[in-house]
Structures are given as C-alpha cells and as structure tokens.
Amino acid sequence: MLHRTCDLGPVRAVLARVAATETGCEAEFRLEGGLGGVVLPGAGPSVRTDDLWKSTCFEIFWQGIGEEGYREFNLAPSGRWAAYDFDRYREGMREAPVDAVAVSCAHSASDGAGVLVLKANLAADLASPAQVGLSAVIEHASGGLQYWALAFPPGPPDFHSEACRQLIVER
C-alpha cells in the first residue's frame, strides 16, 4: 500500500513476494506505472553500498518471532545492496554478515506505461520463523518520494516499525 501522505505520482502498483530458502531468502519486487517519471539508478557493480534508501530501492525487514533484533536489506535497481542488523527498534545499527547477494533488475516500457522487476537471492543466516516486512522507496523525477509497504503504523512512514512486518515466513 502507498503511504497516505504520498501523492500517487507515476507508480500505480508495487507488488512483492519473499520466500525462505535453505541459505537465506529469495525476493521479487514488481513496480508498475510510468517508469519515465521514476528515478532509476544506473546499473553498476553488485556491491554493498550505504544510503540506497535515498533513491528508488526495495527493502526487506526480517525479524525472528519473539526477538527484539532485526535485519534490514536494501536492494537497488542498480544491483547495489546493503544489509544491517539492529539490536532493537532503530538501535545498534551495524553491517550485517551476508554470505552472498545476487540482485537482477529488468524493465520495459511502452506508451508511457512500464514494468520493473527486481529479483534478489540473499544468502545469510536468517531466523525462522520470522515476521517480515517488504517495502519500497520510489523517487520521482520531480524529486518527490513515495513510500510503499505491506502496512504502516500511524504517523509518518516508518519501515522500521514492527507494524510493517505483516508476513510470517518459515523454512
């Protein structure tokens, strides 16, 4: 869902799915709408990079059931990624250990409409069962931002809130 404070802009829908794997998880994000009005970072090396959330990127928040700590993954259409561990809500942030990350992105457009699909395979030690949140930050060419998530807490957009983690995933 789009956060209630955001203008609709060029994006009409964001769809996402995630599944646990033996080595971590696989995720897919699909963005639909006028891609010409969306800032898409150019393709680059698939390396760990900070501050991806400042432009178009997709996020996974993974928290073991009953645990305070959680892990955040940021995945950019450029192929860049980030992974952070938190001890509790927005506290104790540090780089998370990750064995491997593979991000691929493809998009197509015609007549002003388009589809972008980002797929990620993340090899990392992830708790199971877990409550998981899937979200997206979409930067408009005009400079505005949209925030999409499975759910939001009251107030401004906050992907770190446990209220956003609406999926239960287990191996």
pLDDT in tens, 48-82: 999 999 999 999 999 999 999 999 999 999 999 99
DSSP states along 7-23: --TTEEEEEEEEEEETT
Whole-number Å distance between alpha carbons of 151 and 41: 26
* Sole residue written with tokens 């561990």: 85
CA distance 167 to 132: 5
Report the SS3 class of residue 167.
strand
Q: Which pTM was predicted?
A: 0.95
Q: Residue 103 sits in which domain range?
A: 11-169
Residue 109 has pLDDT above 90, yes or no: no
pLDDT band at 171 (very low <50, low <70, confident <90, very high): confident
- Beta pairing partners, 98: none
Q: Is residue 45 part of a domain?
A: yes
Q: Are the C-beta atoms of 103 and 120 separated by less than 8 Å? A: yes
CATH number at residue 31: 2.60.40.1190
pLDDT tens across 28-50, in order? 999 999 999 999 988 888 899 99
The reply to whether 149 falls in a domain is: yes
Residue 3 counted as domain residue: no
Q: Quick one: which of 84, 107, 86 has its CA closest to 97?
A: 84
* 3-state SS, residue 162: helix
Q: Is 131 part of a structural domain of the chain?
A: yes
- Evaluate whether residue 37 is within a structural domain: yes
Residue 157: which pLDDT band, with cuts at 50, 70 and 90?
very high
For the chain, the farthest-separated pair of C-alpha atoms sits apart, in whole angstroms, at: 48
| Number of domains present in the structure of the chain | 1
